[in-house]
Every structure is written in C-alpha cells, then in structure tokens.
Chains A and B, each alone.
Chain A
Amino acid sequence: MMKNSFVELNGRQRAFSLLDENTGREIVGPEFDFISPHLEPQNIVPESDDGVIVVKGKLDGKTAVIISIEGSFQGGGIGEVSGAKIVAALEKTLEDNKNGIKEYPVIVLDTGGVRLQEANYGLLSISEIQNAVIAIKEYVPVIGIVPGRVGSFGGMSITSAILSYLITTPKARIALNGPEVIEQEAGVREFDSSDKNLIWDTLGTRQRVETGIADEVVDDDVSAIKDAINNAIEQNKDAHRTDQADFYLSLLDEIDFAQPLNTKQYRDLYSKNKATKHVVNEATASQQAKTKSRGRLWFEKLTGIENAESNYPTVLHAEKDGKEYIAIVPDENNRFPRVRKGEVGLQEGFLVAEIVNKIVDEDKDKKEKRPLILVVDVPSQAYGYKEELIGIHISLASAAAAYAKARQAGHPVIAFIPGDAVSGGFLAHGLQSNRIIALADDSITIQAMSKASAARITQRTIAELEEATKHVPAMAYDIHNYEKLGALYKLVQDVSSWDANENAVEEIKTVIDEAIESTENQPTDLHFRYETPIAVESGRKATNKMRKTVFEQWNQ
C-alpha cells in the first residue's frame, strides 16, 4: 500500500488527517481572517489563521482537539494571536475535562518557538500554553507530534518536554537553541551550523529517542502516526519528563564540561546513569564576595544574607518572613562555562525544580501555602553544544513545570525583576508567576533573543530590527515598552536596579506583600495578565478577542 506522507501535508491538512473522516470542525478558521496585528506594521505578510489551526473532531471515536502549528508560515513561530488561539483551545479542553467530558488534546509541533517579530508576546503565550498543558495533564494525556521539516525549537521545545508523550518522525529535530543561534552567541567552535551531519546526529530524533527527549519515532505515514497517537492515549502514556531532576543532576555530576562529548559517549553515559537524591541547601552568609549581579544584590538584601552561598553557586534560595526567595545568579568560575554570566543552564533548571517541588511537597497538607518569590536576573538560557546534546530544554521545562504546579496548588508565585529577563531563562524562572513586579530601570533587558541573533534569524539588519521595535512594543528590549503589554502587576518607578538601599528594599518588600495579598481567593492561573487595565485597553486586546472568539465557537 502506498504511504501517505504526514510531513508533506500543510498544517491544516495535518490536523484534519488525524481525525476520523468528516468529523473535523475548525475553530476560528481562515474565513475569520484573524490575522496578527503586529506583522503588517513590520512589512510582513500575515496569514488568515496566524499559523495555528485548531480542529475538533473524533480520533478513532474519541473526542480530540488537534492543534497544528503551520511550520511554513514564519517558521511556525508563536505570536500573540496564534498563541492565544492555542491557549484558549487548551483552556476549553481543560474545562470540558473538568466537567467530565473526555477530550484529548494533540499538538503538532512544527515550530521555531517564539515568533521573533512578536518576541515578548511569544514568550508570554508560550508560558500560558505550558500552564494549560500542566493543568490538563491532571485529566488526560497531552500528546505531541514533531513531524519535521522545521522540527521543534525554542520555547516550544520547552513545551514539548512538558507534554505527556512525544511522537516524532525521522525527519524532525528537537532542540532549544538552533545551531545558528548557538554559533552566533557562542562561536563557530561551539557549534558549527554548517555541519549538517553533526546537527542531525545531535538533534535528530533517533538520538533524541535514545536519550529521553522524545518517546517514539514513527514512519512518516498518516495512519502510522494516527495509530501511535491512539495507542498513547489508550495506554495513558506519560513520560514524566519534567520529574527527572535527580536523574539529570546525577548525570551532570559525571560529565566534564571542559572536555568534548560526542553523541555516542553521551548515549553510553545516559544509559548507565543512576539517579541519586540531590538537595540544594538553603543559602547562608559567607565572608567571600561573589560575582556581582542585580539578582544577587536583591536576593541578599531581601533575605538579609550577605555574600550568600549554597552547595550550588548559581542557585540561591532562602526562607525569610514565611516567604521563599529563589534566585539564579552568575558565577564567574562555574564548571559549566555557559552559565558564568547568570544564564539558566542544565543544572539551574533542575535545581530550581528540586527546591520548588520540595516546598510544594512540604506544604501539601497545609492550608496556607508558602509564597515563592523569584528574583529574576537571567540574561538568557545557556548557549552550548553539550547543553543541546543533553537537552537543556528539559531543565528549563522542569523549573517552569515546578513553578506552574506550585501556583496551581495555591502557592502565590511572584516574580520580581530587578535585572534581565530574557528568553528561555525567563520562561524557566519568572513567566509562570501569577504576579510580575519590575523596576523601571533602563538597565533591564526583557526579550526573546539578543539583537544580533534575532537579526540573523529574521534576516534583517540590526538597524531594521531596531526600526521595527519602534512600531511594535513587543519587539522592544526595555521594561517601559514591556509595561505596554499589560502583563505587569506593578512597575516600580523610583527604585533602581543597582541601588538596593534600605528604603528601596522596604518599598519592594511592601509591593511583594501587596502582590501576594492580591492573589488571595483569586484563580491560580495566569489570567491576571489579560485583565489588567493596560491589557484590556491595548496590550492584550487581540488575545482577549481571540479568546472570546474561540469560546463562542467551541460548542457550535
């Protein structure tokens, strides 16, 4: 029998092909011409579905919601409108499952992650997608397919690690940072983006399935993929990919980051690895000065711990006045070279997950859940070859999932941003918070990618990129434009990042307490971001309109 290629289909055809014949009904289909409002101002041609197709129907008789990302429109990047469509569909799926109507979501990931032309919207949306996926997994498995050509990259790879079960074809690749971005950020000796064999050997699905990043490689055939999905649903599969912090921390203990590591060596290490318990000690004061950063400064001032240190130099946590403060900080001599400037690397995500999961466990039976205060100063995720080989996106996903679960369990999760909040680092440590506080300080960078890399990937000059940031606030790199998106609980005007004087610290403590109080008897989701006056008026206007449209069409 002739095979029907799944990869060769476009995003819409893929969605319908997975459903039983004539059962599919598209939600907010192309006839609504619901385009992104942010592309035409940058001279980019929009698409009527903004690159995401949602189809409800039957999969082998079961009600399924297929969310298919069109990889050939803007690289499958997630923007405000496409992101809101996914989130709204997942939220309705969650609601139906809560009401006893079994519905199985399936996400076709053909995506570069954040749509760089809508950068900060992409990051917000992706964190909201992750939040919804984690909530749905309490009821039904959420299955992912990575068919290729694009594969799954960036923030959506972090999402892929959060899904219950990941099916791939041999034509796909999965990674956090694409080789071009690593080459741009860390140099050609770190990762040569012209070496196609190296790329496929490292990021291709055969290697990925052997090392726990994907679960199953299936031939590129519609019925084989449909069978695999059906099987995963019926067996209620769950890879628990974000519950492996001890396993990965043990593995990382065995790897010398000063030496090369090839795919075969890594497979061997992976298969022999045994998980041992890892604990991140509470930070204590020390005599020795540490690598300075805005995050460290504020962590120390808010907790009163001078020269704070723990058994892991880049991750600090401490309880103070009933609140748990957590910070990721730079360490100029760290044995992982790619995190020396405070980037969120392989260890950091898993360590944060250990800390947060322990707190959630300790407070499990308590009525009052400890607030988690994230001191955010993360210049990015770590860019490196070994980071991708091992799967840094799983580390970031573990942290994001831990924060999301803590919030959903009733812990107030408050992000305080005195420093940078960039990309995967921000997704892991900050964006799962139900309240975000930031300082109105010009030194803060808040974005999805550095200007140099974003220009390279979107094939523009840096000057063109900067021009675009003037028209689209989500493209900008500063906190003042970020405020226009409506996601902030508060932008503190009179405190600077590097000046944590006594009055400033008292003021921030008061704002944090107010933020905690504002979460009382409120939903434990991320809806606050859609409902601030700025969000309603302008910042998330398209989001709110898309949500309303999806909700109206859900049960027609």
Chain B
Amino acid sequence: MEKLNFTYQNSEAVKKFVHVGVVASGDLEILLYPADETTIEIVTGSDGFKEVWKNVLDRFFTRYPLKGKFVIHDFGATPGVVNLRLTQAMEALNDEK
C-alpha cells in the first residue's frame, strides 16, 4: 500500500460532493469535494506507480481542470479504469440532482 499526494492549479470549481466507484479488485472509488485548492490524496494497493498516476491526472486535468479535493481509494485499477472513474465523477457533477 502506498499513499500519494498531488496538487494542481485548476480553475473550474467543484460545486458539490460526488462519489463514484467501489474499492473492488481492479477498481477504485473517488470522493470529490468542493475546495479552494486542487489536491489529490491517493491510497493505492499497488506500490510504485507514482509516475503513471501523474500522467493520468495530468492528461485528465488538461481537458477538465476541476478545482476540488479528490480522495482516491485504489485497489489496483488500470490507468484506463482510473480515467473512466474520473470521467464519471465529472459527469456526476453535471447531474441535476
């Protein structure tokens, strides 16, 4: 298990809390809270993938510069799954509910 922390200078403020995913094998959950700064706190079961995480986050935030606090509990998700869950979190932000 490894804990990773990232910060980004993003512009689009998150307005409400959203949650997606499950800490199942090969999956992860994302908690996204409104916050003044963009921080990403990751707890991952797979050690040694800091660079991969950074690449996935860089790419995602380049397209969607969400400003908020991300908490990620990862149980061995592939970069593809991570990207999918991040996209789902963004879609959940836009849901009228």
CB contact under 8 A between A10 and B22, given known A31-B17, A45-B43, A45-B74? yes
A48 touches B29 (CB 8 A): yes
Of A11, A43, A46, A47, most buried by chain B (CB within 10 Å of CB) is A47
B50 at the interface (CB under 8 A from A): no
Residues of B within 8 A of A74 (CB): 23
B24 touches A44 (CB 8 A): no
Residues of B within 8 A of A46 (CB): 23, 43, 73
Give the contacts of A64-95 with B (CB-CB under 8 A): 70, 72-74
Of A29, A30, A33, A70, most buried by chain B (CB within 10 Å of CB) is A30
CB contact under 8 A between A47 and B29, given known A10-B22, A31-B19, A73-B24? yes
C-alpha spacing A46/B75, complex, angstroms: 9
Residues of B within 8 A of A43 (CB): 1, 45
Residues of B within 8 A of A72 (CB): 22, 24-25, 27
B23 touches A45 (CB 8 A): yes
Give the contacts of A1-27 with B (CB-CB under 8 A): 10-11
Residues of A within 8 A of B33 (CB): 31
Give the contacts of B6-44 with A (CB-CB under 8 A): 17, 19, 22-25, 27, 29, 31, 33, 43-44
Secondary structure call for the B interface: strand
Interface digits, A191-206 against B, CB 8 Å rule (1 contact, 0 not)? Answer: 0000000000000000
| Interface size class of chain B, counting residues whose CB lies under 8 Å from the partner chain | 10 to 19
A33 touches B71 (CB 8 A): yes
C-alpha spacing A74/B74, complex, angstroms: 13
Give the distance to chain A from B69, nearest Cβ to Cβ, in Å: 11
B19 touches A30 (CB 8 A): yes
Give the distance to chain B from A534, nearest Cβ to Cβ, in Å: 29
The 8 Å CB contact of B73, one of A29, A45, A70, is: A45
Q: Give the number of residue pairs across the A-B interface with Cβ within 8 Å.
A: 48
C-alpha spacing A549/B19, complex, angstroms: 19
What is the size, in residues, of chain A's interface with B at 8 Å between Cβ atoms?
17
Interface digits, A40-54 against B, CB 8 Å rule (1 contact, 0 not)? Answer: 100111111000000
Which single residue of chain A is at the shortest CB-CB distance from B24? Answer: A72
Which single residue of chain A is at the shortest CB-CB distance from B17? Answer: A31
The 8 Å CB contact of B31, one of A40, A48, A73, is: A48
Give the distance to chain B from A46, nearest Cβ to Cβ, in Å: 6
CB contact under 8 A between A47 and B1, given known A30-B19, A31-B17, A72-B24? no
B31 touches A30 (CB 8 A): yes
A45 touches B45 (CB 8 A): yes
Residues of B within 8 A of A45 (CB): 1, 23, 43-45, 73-75
Residues of A within 8 A of B43 (CB): 40, 45-46
B19 touches A47 (CB 8 A): no
B29 touches A70 (CB 8 A): no
Give the distance to chain A from B3, nearest Cβ to Cβ, in Å: 9
Give the distance to chain A from B97, nearest Cβ to Cβ, in Å: 8
B45 touches A44 (CB 8 A): yes
C-alpha spacing A74/B73, complex, angstroms: 13
C-alpha spacing A11/B31, complex, angstroms: 16
Give the distance to chain B from A514, nearest Cβ to Cβ, in Å: 45
Which single residue of chain B is at the shortest CB-CB distance from A39? Answer: B1
A73 touches B45 (CB 8 A): no
CB contact under 8 A between A47 and B17, given known A40-B43, A73-B22, A73-B23? no
Which single residue of chain A is at the shortest CB-CB distance from B73? Answer: A45
Residues of A within 8 A of B75 (CB): 45
C-alpha spacing A10/B25, complex, angstroms: 13
C-alpha spacing A46/B33, complex, angstroms: 18
C-alpha spacing A233/B31, complex, angstroms: 35
Give the distance to chain A from B39, nearest Cβ to Cβ, in Å: 14
Residues of B within 8 A of A48 (CB): 19, 29, 31, 71, 73
Give the distance to chain B from A229, nearest Cβ to Cβ, in Å: 23
C-alpha spacing A287/B49, complex, angstroms: 70
C-alpha spacing A44/B3, complex, angstroms: 11
Residues of B within 8 A of A47 (CB): 22-23, 29, 73
The 8 Å CB contact of A29, one of B19, B25, B45, is: B19
C-alpha spacing A11/B19, complex, angstroms: 13
C-alpha spacing A44/B23, complex, angstroms: 11
Give the distance to chain A from B13, nearest Cβ to Cβ, in Å: 17
C-alpha spacing A40/B17, complex, angstroms: 24
Give the distance to chain A from B22, nearest Cβ to Cβ, in Å: 5
Which single residue of chain A is at the shortest CB-CB distance from B27? Answer: A72
Which single residue of chain A is at the shortest CB-CB distance from B23? Answer: A47
Give the contacts of B47-62 with A (CB-CB under 8 A): none
Residues of B within 8 A of A33 (CB): 31, 71
New A-B contacts (4) at CB < 8 Å, excluding given A45-B23, A72-B24 = A10-B24, A31-B19, A47-B23, A70-B22
Which 3 pairs, one residue from A and one from B, show the smallest C-beta to C-beta distance?
A72-B24, A43-B1, A47-B23
Residues of B within 8 A of A (CB): 1, 17, 19, 22-25, 27, 29, 31, 33, 43-45, 71, 73-75
Interface pairs (12), CB distance under 8 Å:
A30-B19, A30-B29, A31-B33, A33-B31, A43-B45, A44-B45, A45-B43, A45-B44, A47-B73, A48-B31, A48-B71, A72-B27
